[in-house]
């Protein structure tokens, strides 16, 4: 008797036109397979879940002036969108190195670019912090160009399990490399109100830093839990109850992302990492080598601007951007995450 054939497994039904749960958005999470659906989302000015839309690509390429045969570095690989465009410029004969601390997304991007035909002959990817640019140079030699996009990628923001967004319930993590250091939840368990106030004020210019820091620390001392993204958002909301009802909702909406950003910067030592990178950068560039840095908040931009200006005065850079370059109105209209971007560039003497 013939064995009964198993019934074919029915494909899971797509939950509505816009499923809310991250894992249910399988069309967005597989843009290569559902290209038409992903394009519709992009045309609506949104980014498909689990992907990332590279910002200011044309402006960056205009600054870097990449030529075939050159060697460069994408210091923050992310989804690989900028890397892909730079690879097109260096070929034939050139080579691109790329670094990222996020092992989860790095592996996915590596597989994606390898599938497009970019093997280790032209693309070398390293899991490391970009403050170690001097280690890259040991293998690459002096670099003709360097790009550093300091923004958090959409893949990290969208995935609730990474704990980057206050819009979705998830563990309060915020680490760029989830294998090292303290999570944001662990950090809040030990920080003092004074230290947290300084972090919120210095890292994100939070006007209610004192009130929010005091409330967070007091709640934890009373045995309250702040282990998830929504618990932190709720705590921020509680701290701002003194604001008049007519203004409170808008103030919470502005303070929540600032607080998440400030704590993320603190637990990842982002300012220290950036300063180390800026100090090592000139020695990594060949004469005439170009660098472009994309920042997304004032603390980063101030450090980049100050470094470029100081090194220009010392004659280490022969040229720097006189004014910050902003994304076009058209790009901001189709990609809201581009609106806070600032681009600066410099040329090695």
Reported as a single tens digit per residue, the pLDDT across 14-72 is 555 555 554 554 444 555 555 555 455 545 545 555 555 788 999 999 999 999 999 99
Cα separation values, 9 from 30, 170, 193, Å: 19, 31, 55
| pLDDT bracket for residue 303 (50, 70, 90) | very high
- CB within 8 A of 266, min separation 6: which ones? 187, 199, 203
Strands 342-348 and 317-320: antiparallel
- CB within 8 A of 12, min separation 6: which ones? 26
Task: Identify which of 237, 272, 247, 277 has the alpha carbon closest to the alpha carbon of residue 149.
Answer: 277
Contact criterion met (CB below 8 Å) for 77 and 103: no
| Residue reference for tokens 């894992």 | 23
Reported as a single tens digit per residue, the pLDDT across 210-225 is 999 999 999 999 998 8
The fraction of the chain above a pLDDT of 70, given in percent, is 82
Reported as a single tens digit per residue, the pLDDT across 167-184 is 778 889 888 887 788 999
pLDDT at 153: 64
Taking every pair of Cα atoms in the chain, the longest distance, rounded to a whole number of angstroms, is 88
Average pLDDT score over residue span 90-96: 96
| pLDDT bracket for residue 232 (50, 70, 90) | very high
- CB within 8 A of 270, min separation 6: which ones? 150, 264, 300
Contact criterion met (CB below 8 Å) for 73 and 140: yes
Return left, alpha or beta for 116; rule: phi > 0 is left, psi -120 to 50 is alpha, else beta: alpha
Average pLDDT score over residue span 295-317: 95
Contact criterion met (CB below 8 Å) for 200 and 213: yes
| Residue reference for tokens 């690509």 | 57
| pLDDT bracket for residue 339 (50, 70, 90) | confident
pLDDT at 154: 59
315 vs 16 pLDDT, higher one: 315
pLDDT at 38: 47
CA angle 225, 229, 234 (to 5 degrees): 65
pLDDT at 323: 93
Cα separation values, 192 from 39, 213, 216, 218, 313, Å: 47, 8, 10, 10, 40
pLDDT at 104: 79
| pLDDT bracket for residue 9 (50, 70, 90) | low
Contact criterion met (CB below 8 Å) for 163 and 229: yes
Cα 293 from Cα 74, distance rounded (Å): 10
Average pLDDT score over residue span 70-98: 94
Average pLDDT along the chain:
86
Asked if the model's pLDDT at residue 240 lies above 90, the reply is yes
Average pLDDT score over residue span 111-133: 92
Strands 317-320 and 95-100: unpaired
Element (H, E) at 95: strand 95-100
| pLDDT bracket for residue 334 (50, 70, 90) | confident
Reported as a single tens digit per residue, the pLDDT across 97-112 is 999 988 778 888 899 8
pLDDT at 181: 85
| Residue reference for tokens 């950068």 | 281
Ordered structural domains, the chain, with CATH: 57-154+272-348 (3.40.50.150), 178-267 (1.10.150)
- CB within 8 A of 47, min separation 6: which ones? 41, 53, 154, 158, 335, 337
pLDDT at 26: 44
pLDDT at 348: 98
43 vs 84 pLDDT, higher one: 84
pLDDT at 1: 46
């Amino acid at each position: 008797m013939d064995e009964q054939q198993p019934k074919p497994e029915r494909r899971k039904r797509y939950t509505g036109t816009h499923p809310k749960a991250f894992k249910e958005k399988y069309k967005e999470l597989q843009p290569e397979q559902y290209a038409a659906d992903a394009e519709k989302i992009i045309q609506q000015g949104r980014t498909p879940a689990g992907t990332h839309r590279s910002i200011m690509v044309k402006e960056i390429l205009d600054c870097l002036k990449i030529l075939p045969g050159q060697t460069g570095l994408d210091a923050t690989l992310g989804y690989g969108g900028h890397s892909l465009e730079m690879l097109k410029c260096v070929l034939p004969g050139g080579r691109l190195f790329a670094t990222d601390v996020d092992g989860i997304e790095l592996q996915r991007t590596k597989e994606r670019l390898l599938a497009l035909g970019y093997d280790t002959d032209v693309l070398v990817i390293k899991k490391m912090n970009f403050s170690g640019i001097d280690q890259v140079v040991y293998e690459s030699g002096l670099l003709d160009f360097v790009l550093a996009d300091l923004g958090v990628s959409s893949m990290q923001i969208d995935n609730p399990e990474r704990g980057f967004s206050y819009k979705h319930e998830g563990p309060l993590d915020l680490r760029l490399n989830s294998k090292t250091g303290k999570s944001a939840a662990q950090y809040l368990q030990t920080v003092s109100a004074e230290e947290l106030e300084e972090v919120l004020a210095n890292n994100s210019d939070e006007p209610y830093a004192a009130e929010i820091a005091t409330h967070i620390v007091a709640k934890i001392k009373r045995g309250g839990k702040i282990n998830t993204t929504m618990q932190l958002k709720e705590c921020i909301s509680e701290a701002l109850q003194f604001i008049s009802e007519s203004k409170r909702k808008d103030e919470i909406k502005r303070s929540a992302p600032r607080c998440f950003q400030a704590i993320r910067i603190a637990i990842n030592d982002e300012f220290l990492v950036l300063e180390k990178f800026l100090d090592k950068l000139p020695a990594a560039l060949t004469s005439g080598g170009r660098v472009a840095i994309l920042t997304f908040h004032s603390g980063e931009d101030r450090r980049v601007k100050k470094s470029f200006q100081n090194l220009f005065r010392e004659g280490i850079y022969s040229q720097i951007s006189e004014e910050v370059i902003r994304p076009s109105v058209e790009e901001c209209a189709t990609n809201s995450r581009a609106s806070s971007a600032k681009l600066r560039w410099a040329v090695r003497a």
